[in-house]
Amino acid sequence: MAPTIGPLIHCFRPASIHRSTPEMMAIAAALLIFIAVAVPAATATDYTVGGSQGWTSGVDYNSWASGKTFSVGDSLLFQYSSQHSVTEVGESDFNACSSSNSIQTYTDQSTKISLTEPGSRYFICGTPGHCSGGMKLEVSVAGSTTPSSPSSSSGTTPSASGSSSGAPPSTSSAGIIAGGKVVLGGLVLVGLVGVVG
């Protein structure tokens, strides 16, 4: 019978490594809290609007969006040519295909929009005739207990803004909230390890 080295290693560990069961449970609980806060950040989804066709004429965006569940923390990536734009509008302007009261307009050809709060979001192409030809997208965003991503509308440069219907949704607050929770989780972990260590 071969000797086991487990008891031998146990004898050579420094006393500071030995922890009582309550201390180990506190460390385990802190680690679980940290993981529970950090893991949702990895579950955000970036949706390329229109799939491989992108944001262009001739795509059925209702069909593209059907069956997808958009959640707080997800992002929409609009990829389009210079003859198109992405204009976020309110519901009535969406239904009328009007960009005159736009919330935000993008023309950078690669626009990433973070979904920062639950509710409906409405997007049209601001080029005359394109919206009425089908270049419009309504997205229903489901709520989430934790914003999933600290991403912002990076790579986007608004070309026009201003609206009586309100300012564009803030993307920086999601980053601060998500980042703050991760930092808070890390501080809790460090604090508990320090207390029990």
Burial of 21 by CB count in 10 Å (0-12 exposed, 13-18 middle, 19+ buried)?
A: exposed
CB–CB of 144/71 below 8 Å? Answer: yes
Residues 6 or more apart whose Cβ sits within 8 Å of residue 102: 87, 88, 89, 93, 126, 160, 161, 162, 163
* Domain coordinates in residue numbering, the chain: 45-178
CB–CB of 84/49 below 8 Å? Answer: no
Global pTM value: 0.56
CATH number for the domain formed by residue range(s) 45-178: 2.60.40.420
State both tokens at 97.
């295909």
State both tokens at 7.
């008891």
CB–CB of 156/112 below 8 Å? Answer: yes
In a structure prediction context, what are the per-residue pLDDT tens digits for the chain, which is 197 residues long? 555 555 555 555 555 555 567 777 777 776 666 665 555 555 789 999 999 999 999 999 999 999 999 999 999 999 999 999 999 999 999 999 999 999 999 999 999 999 999 999 999 999 999 999 999 999 999 986 444 343 333 333 343 333 333 333 333 333 333 443 343 444 444 444 454 45
Please give the Cα distance from 122 to 102 (Å, whole number): 10
CB–CB of 151/173 below 8 Å? Answer: no
Burial of 94 by CB count in 10 Å (0-12 exposed, 13-18 middle, 19+ buried)?
A: buried
State both tokens at 11.
């004898």
Please give the Cα distance from 50 to 78 (Å, whole number): 8
Matching residue, tokens 């999933």 = 148
Please give the Cα distance from 24 to 186 (Å, whole number): 17
